[in-house]
Structure 1
């Protein structure tokens, strides 16, 4: 983990603050719902499958000690980017059409925000960025 790259919990909290600034209460509430859904998704991620066996072992150990928020505490920006495509898989899309549009839009904004904010952490993440971009475009196309 890069010393200057915060954990996912801090990244997501800062992102939500940034994107919510100046928005109406209604939009802010929708953003919050989507981000809460993202937190639930991340807590369900199989780190071995998405990030590799070392990450899976580390996450399993952390979940034994402190299960709630383990994924968010352990991993950083490049791990988040590798996980984002799964958040746009049909089984994770929210039910309300407005929330789905927001989910897709916020995922796109989050990817751009993370890439701009933590460029050093993105150096080894080209495959994750590409997969996330493809997932965003696919989700948008399926909604049309």
Structure 2
């Protein structure tokens, strides 16, 4: 089945290009660091737990043959949204406070950007979108402490 919804690698590149346009070099560098961190996170995602066993099996097979970027090559916007809440947990929140604030802010912006850009892929994601917005709020509160 062919889809017009791009894979996560294209989504993340397009998002970074959009949000980075017209930004200062220091802000652009911070955005880039966060997106690299997100890519590292996606490399570690346990798709069985987050997306289900069929997706987990597919991802495991892809990682076996072409490990780097497997998640970003295989999955689309809704899969990304399913994974975003864990990107904001303490284990993955960046240590530098400015980077952590940017990570939270960009995750929020990415969620809104994806929802606006790919509404057809978000059709069944209401619970995951809510979970993601809760994770964003919780991460902001933890960072303020």
Bucket of the pairwise TM-score, normalised by the shorter protein: over 0.9
Alignment of 1:128 onto 2:133: no
Unmatched tracts of structure 2, length 5 or more: none
- Say whether residues 1:105 and 2:101 are aligned partners: no
Following the alignment from structure 1 to structure 2, what is the Cα–Cα distance between the partners of residues 19 and 50?
27
Q: CA RMSD in A?
A: 0.9
| Match of residue 62 from structure 2 | 62
Match of 2:43 in 1: 43
Runs of 4+ in structure 1 displaced over 2 angstroms? none
Pair 2,98 (structure 1): closer, same or farther in 2 beyond 3 Å = farther
TM-score normalized with structure 1 length: 0.98
- Could you tell me whether the CA contact under 8 Å between 1:85 and 1:135 is conserved in 2? yes
The equivalent residue for 1:72 is 72
Q: Which runs of 5+ in 1 are unaligned?
A: none
TM-score, normalized by length of structure 2?
0.97
Deviation at 1:79, TM superposition (A): 0.2
Q: Distance in 1 between matches of 2:98 and 2:67?
A: 31
